Amino acid sequence: MILRNFLLAIPAAYLCLLLFTGGTTHTGPRRPPTRTASLQLHFTHVVNGRPMALGTTAYMNAAGESFTITMFKYYISNFTLTTTTGQEITLPAAYFLVNESSDSTKRITLPQAPEGTYQRISFMIGVDSIHNMSGAQTGALDPVNGMFWTWNSGYIMAKLEGNSPVSKQPLNLVEFHIGGFKGASNVLRRVQLNFPQPVKLSAATPATVQLTADAYTWFHLPNAISFKKVASCTTPGTQAAAVADNYRNMFSISN
C-alpha cells in the first residue's frame, strides 16, 4: 500500500514540475514572442586608436616599447540584450571566433531576439567552462581553428601574436595565448556595453552595431605589461588572468 501511494506520488510530482517549468518558460527569456529579429555586430580592430594592420605596422605599448601584431583573434559567446525597460534577454547559445585576418568573421549575426528596443548588450570573452570539458566540438569551436590546447584541455580564449625588438623570446616573438577556465586561472570575462542610443530591433529593418576592439588595452590597465619582462604567456595561470583583466576593457561601441 505504501508502495502504491509512492507510485501515485511520482506522476503528481511530474505534473507539478511540468506546471512549474511550463510557467517559467512562458514568461522567461527562452520563449520569445512570435516576432523576432537578429542584431548584427561589426568589429573593427585598432591599436591605441590606429587601425590594426597585421605584420606591417609598428605600434607602441604603454611601456613605450615598439611591437607588431601578426595574429589577433578571440572568442565571444553567451550574449544577452537588455531592453530599455530593463528586461534582460539571454540569447540562444552561440560561439564566434573573431579573427583580424578574416573579414567574414568580423561581421556576425547574433541569434534571434524578440523585437523591441534595447539599451545594452553583454557577452563573454571566451568559451564557457562547460564547453571546455564536453569533448569534440564543431563550427567555431572546432579544434582545427588552432584555439584548443592539446596538452591541457581547454580553449585558448584569445590570441595575440607579434614581434617586439625588446622581447627576449626566440625571433623576438610576442605570444599571448590566453586560456584557463578553472578557479583562480579562470580567464572568462564578461563585457557589458551600453548602446549610445537605444537600438530598435525589428524583423523589417535589420540593426547593426559597430564595435571596436583595441589591442592596446591587453598590455595597459590595470596590469601594465612590458615585453622586456613578459613577452609570452601560453599557459593558464595568474599571468593569463592578468591579461584577461586588461582585455576585458578592449571593446567600445562606435555608432
Partner 1 sequence: MRVLSIITLFALGLLFAVLEASGTREHITLSPGGPEPYVLKLPPGLPSPVYDFSKNPLTKQGVALGRHLFYDPKLSRDSTISCGFCHQQFAAFGHYDHALAHGVEGRIGVRSVPTLFNLIWQKEFMWDGGVNNLEIQPLTPLTDPNEMGEDLGKLVKRLQKDPGYRKMFKEAYGTEEITSQRLFRALTQFIATMVSFESKYDSVMRKAPGVAFTPEEQEGYVIFQQKCAACHREPFFTDNSYRNNGLPYLPALNDVGRMRITSNTGDYLKFKVPSLRNVLKSSPYMHDGRFFDIYQVFNHYNKGVEQSNTIDPLVKNGIPLTDKDQRELYMFLNTLTDPGFIANSSLSEILIR
| Nearest-angstrom CA–CA distance, 91 and 113 | 6
Among 34, 85, 104, 138, the residue binding partner 1 under the rule CB under 8 A is: 138
* Residue 122 is a binding residue for partner 1 (CB under 8 A): no
H or E stretch at 117: strand 116-125
| Nearest-angstrom CA–CA distance, 10 and 22 | 18
Supply the DSSP string of 162-205, one letter for each residue: EE-TT--SGGGEEEEEEE--SGGG---EEEEEEEEEEEEE-SSS
**Grid-cell match 579562470, residue found:** 186
CA atoms within 13 A on the CB side of 152: 12
Query: What is the smallest separation between the CB atom of 130 and partner 1, expressed in angstroms?
Result: 11
By CB under 8 A, which span of 13-21, 32-40, 69-77, 210-218 interacts with partner 1?
13-21
* Residue 88 is a binding residue for partner 1 (CB under 8 A): no
CB 250 within 8 Å of CB 187: no
* Residue 137 is a binding residue for partner 1 (CB under 8 A): yes
* Residue 169 is a binding residue for partner 1 (CB under 8 A): no
| Nearest-angstrom CA–CA distance, 101 and 120 | 28
* Residue 25 is a binding residue for partner 1 (CB under 8 A): yes
Nearer of residues 33 and 64 to partner 1, judged by Cβ:
33
- Per-residue interface string for the shown chain with partner 1, residues 182-201, x marking contact by CB under 8 A: ---x----------------
Nearer of residues 104 and 152 to partner 1, judged by Cβ:
152
- Per-residue interface string for the shown chain with partner 1, residues 32-71, x marking contact by CB under 8 A: ----------------------------------------
By CB under 8 A, which span of 9-17, 155-163, 210-218, 244-252 interacts with partner 1?
9-17
* Residue 1 is a binding residue for partner 1 (CB under 8 A): no
Identify which of 61, 112, 84, 31 has the alpha carbon closest to the alpha carbon of residue 194: 84
H or E stretch at 96: strand 95-99
Between strands 66-83 and 154-163, the pairing is: antiparallel
One-letter amino acid of 99 = N
* Residue 144 is a binding residue for partner 1 (CB under 8 A): yes
Contact positions toward partner 1, by CB under 8 A? 8, 10-11, 14-15, 17-18, 21-22, 25, 30-31, 92-93, 132-138, 142-144, 146, 148, 150-154, 185, 235-237
